[in-house]
Chain A
Amino acid sequence: METKPRLLTILDWSSIILFLFATGMVFIYAPMEAVLGNVQRVFYFHVAAGWVGMVALGVAVVAAIAYLRTSDRKWDIIGLASIEIGLVFSFINIISGAIWARPIWNTWWTWDPRLVTATIMELIYLAYLMLRQGIEDPDRRARFGAVYAIVGFLSVPLSFFSIRIWRTIHPTVVGSSDAGAEGAFDMTPRMLQTFFFSLFVFTIIGIDLIWHRIRLGRLEDDVEQRKMQVMA
């Protein structure tokens, strides 16, 4: 039984402290947006959660390709960990988006390209977990998971492009925005600082959680192997 690495403990505590600090920045340091009001404060964590969700899916694909090339169990564990954590963060992203959309777009939900793409991503993550659950042989589970992670990863940007033919109302705060976007705003320096700090903090939390999940995955593997030894 491996002991918990010191760095992970440090990461745990820094995640907690940084998260509290970021929350403080969002509510106190960042100024209130003149047009959108207080609800705009959702934006900082909304984008940060979406960012971690996307990056986690990216990591899962890299891990999937690495697994197919090397057949090293390590990559399978990393892939599963980042997909599970990515699933949670994407869900936070969608829910916080809905909370923001209600007052600004006057609806919880709209069939906008980004919203649909986020939902499809969530469904692909869930399908990935269901696929893994249905397969008992660990090697086959890992191989199928890797293949599905690659196929799913390709499908996400494709969905975005195919829906993009419609005009979007989702604002692009970072980068150029569509003329039809509603709820767009310019960021003041304080807002920018809060925004980038939130991105940073969520990235740290994401890394921390994925690391924990990888450890859990390794322990699961260990238990499975010991069980096999006892049975044999």
Chain B
Amino acid sequence: MSVKSTSVKPITARAPSFLQAVGAVVRKDLASEFRSRELLSAMFLFALLVILIFNFALELNARERGEITAGVLWVTFVFAGQLGLNRSMAIEKDRNCLDGLLLAPVDRSAIYFGKMLANLLFMLIVEAIVLPIYSILYNVNLFHPGLILVIILGSLGYVTIGTLLATMAVYARTRDILLPILLFPVVVPLLIAAVRASSAFLQNLSMEFVWPSLNLLIVFNLIFIAVSYMTFDFIVEE
């Protein structure tokens, strides 16, 4: 047996701090994901398939690449991300883990932020694999620090609202088909800003063309985080 009796800590009265609680949820998600790897591999394969389909659907050729790369990338991320969000909450619901999490004596928003950060990490991991593959397949250089910043900001906003809505969707009868329908109309503004900013960076436009979209992206992130923080308690309330 690998579990030693000495490793079991005595139950202390002190409740964990907010950050400790968030960290614990993130660690739990990462640990379970790195054992099964079902979420990451599904997201990654799905992303590859989307890029493959785009190649034929749009006849991606050398001239057109520059302008539509940003769009193709974001559609890929959004679809792959949606798959991950759905699964990450469905796991909690199916095995009644969510109830267990909610019983923990921590602030409910710590659970939300933990799930959200774990989803963000999964999405960033997939993006970090997809970007070089896209660069190789289409012979474009995507390693632009600005683009990476936009991808991080865009993914943050996407999982912020995505985690909130996925938590609602898992309670519904039609949960698998419900999440994209709930999520996509709400994240449209974020996507528009993200695609604009990415495309401006990819075309090496001067910063005056980038700032409006980048500012919007930052503002959307703040609004989405604030509204999710305020409403999450109502979703998991029993």
Chain A residues packing against B (C-beta within 8 Å):
68, 120, 123-124, 126-127, 130-131, 133-136, 140, 143-144, 146-148, 150-152, 154-155, 158-159, 161-163, 165
Contacts and interface: CB of A to CB of B under 8 A. Distances in A.
Given A134-B173, A162-B192, A147 B231 contact: yes
Contact of B189 (A68, A133, A136, A155): A155
B178 interface: yes
A159 B188 contact: yes
What 5 pairs between A and B have smallest CB-CB spacing? A134-B172, A158-B189, A123-B185, A162-B192, A134-B174
B146 to A, nearest CB: 17
A136 B173 contact: yes
Q: Which applies to chain A's interface (DSSP): helix, strand, loop or mixed?
A: helix
A158 B220 contact: yes
Interface of B: 161, 164-165, 168-169, 171-175, 178, 181-182, 184-190, 192-193, 196, 212-213, 216, 220, 223, 227, 231, 234-235, 237
A77 B145 CA distance: 49
B193 A152 contact: no
Given A151-B227, A158-B223, A165-B196, 6 more contacts: A120-B185, A131-B169, A147-B164, A147-B168, A147-B235, A151-B231
B185 A147 contact: no
Contacts of A133: 174
Contact of A161 (B168, B172, B182, B216): B216
A72 B171 CA distance: 21
Contact of A165 (B213, B231, B235): B213
Given A68-B234, A144-B235, A165-B196, A152 B185 contact: yes
B185 A131 contact: no
Contacts of B187: 155
Nearest to A125: B185
A140 B167 CA distance: 12
20 contacts: A68-B231, A68-B234, A123-B184, A124-B185, A126-B181, A131-B168, A131-B178, A134-B172, A135-B173, A143-B235, A144-B171, A147-B234, A148-B165, A148-B182, A150-B231, A151-B165, A155-B185, A158-B189, A158-B223, A165-B213
A132 B175 CA distance: 12
A165 B189 CA distance: 12
A126 B220 CA distance: 23
B217 to A, nearest CB: 9
A64 to B, nearest CB: 10
A159 B190 CA distance: 8
A127 B182 contact: yes
Contacts of B173: 134-136
A124 B193 contact: no
A134 B227 contact: no
B43 to A, nearest CB: 23
B168 A155 contact: no
Nearest to A116: B188
A128 to B, nearest CB: 8
A154 B186 CA distance: 8
Contacts of B237: 143
A136 B171 CA distance: 9
A151 B212 contact: no
Contacts of A150: 227, 231
Nearest to A147: B231
Contact of A131 (B172, B188, B192, B231): B172
Nearest to A119: B185
Contacts of B186: 124, 151-152, 155
A67 B108 CA distance: 20
A129 B126 CA distance: 33
A161 B196 contact: no
Contact of A162 (B165, B171, B193, B235): B193
A131 B182 contact: yes
Contacts of B223: 154, 158
B227 to A, nearest CB: 6
